[in-house]
Structure 1
């Protein structure tokens, strides 16, 4: 007799999320993914501006232009660009929530794990399908292939054909840039125990690029006192642009509002 398939719970939580002190001003740092344009995460911006939440959304080195712009870019450049935006935002608000898609999720985790002058400003993190591992078996061959194959064609990261048609991601990328991402993911995986801020993870079990099971592991890898894992069932990898993007945004803004304890203010507003 075959074992019955067990449905994956939509939400797993560990620990208790404690709101920030009343009156704390919060900003959001939005980080796009590898080969992405800003449209990969910009759909979340209206959810922030509608609530008066400040934000920074930097273009990470080599992106938002042409694939050739990635040639020679190092993972440390992506981190440095994100950190510069974090510093800028931290000057305007009391605390920062970092939101990152894919490679941006890797950068998010590094910013949380490392100790730096802005560390006390980081209140929490949200990762959308963080690129800590890769589905494509050829990823393991990227290092030797990078000596012979200059560019690598990107794989499909959408489930909805209409959403795919609107995608502005690079159709190809330098193989050596992908090797940088591989090293970046490995380096970050080795420091996850140093991530201590509250963490919200969002991932689709139908992700074709980053294995969903890696986010299930991430749930237990970090030292955060509070972690939640949200499982989607229809989207591909591009969580900020695919068929469940609004669900991703709703999960993320709900996490932020619980962190800044906005539930009571919403109730007051509805009674006016």
Structure 2
């Protein structure tokens, strides 16, 4: 299946003193690496090793996405994490929306192999009552209208699908439950950005994460001038700057400990 031009993956090996640190970034449901590319380019310019893989079924067609599920998406990130762990001394994981959920799942499964999490409007649940009948709907309807381009900044297109593939959404709901059930396993430092106006992910997702993880180093930053796809919105520079400072602080702490 041909990949759309905007959906190309991004990788940078790192350079200089920050090359010892790798950062894995995950885009969201029906999106593509395009949503994370400016973030990735900022980190690469700082010298960090960076990887933004394209999750299976994304960046092609929504019909193809309906043939994939959360184990496929997770496997790509899991393999990328293993590669980054081989190439860098520390690895951080960042995710937008569903990417945040996948980042949390990686943290639950890999513990101290991950030095910290950056979550942007992570999704781990939905209050939409229609999801109660999703198992039945997914058998008879292929898709719903899409949820793309929830961006306050004018003229920005994230390049996501204009349809919501229901079989893939059903799989995502299964990932939500699995991740929620194990949130107490998350002990890594967490930096969470949450848009005060988000038309895709309800505030209950962020509240669930903060109430359930075991991390002691937790910062929540509210974004007042962005909608859901905040990495392409008005608050993007703040996300990039604060995330870089978060990564630098935690990598400096580890270096000080190693030198002591």
TM range (shorter): 0.7 to 0.9
Question: Which residue in 2 is equivalent to 1:124?
Answer: 116
* CA-CA distance at 1:138 after TM superposition: 2.5
Q: CA deviation at 1:229?
A: 0.8
Q: Deviations over 1:137-183 (max 9, x none)?
A: 4333322211221112213552426244x220011132111000111
Contact 2:56/2:65, CA 8 A, preserved across alignment? yes
How many residue pairs are counted as aligned between the two chains? 237
Output the TM-score relative to the length of structure 2.
0.85
Bigger relative contact order, structure 1 or 2 (CA pairs below 8 A, ≥6 apart): 1
- Corresponding position: 1:145 with 2:137: yes
Matched-pair contact (CA < 8 Å) for 2:151–2:230: no
More helix by proportion, 1 or 2? 2
CA RMSD of aligned residues (A): 2.0
TM-score (norm 1): 0.81
- Residue 95 of structure 2 corresponds to 100
Give the C-alpha shift of residue 244 in structure 1: 1.8
Distance 1:167 1:49 in 2: 21
Distance between the aligned counterparts of 1:239 and 1:98, measured in 2?
17
In structure 1, the residue matched to 2:218 is 227
Do the aligned partners of 1:103 and 1:131 also contact (CA within 8 Å) in 2? yes
The correspondence for 2:70, drawn from 75, 80, 89, is 75
5+ residue gaps, structure 1, are 1-21, 263-272
Between structure 1 and structure 2, the one with the greater Rg is 1
Q: What secondary structure does 1:208 align onto?
A: coil
Q: Distance in 1 between matches of 2:107 and 2:207?
A: 19
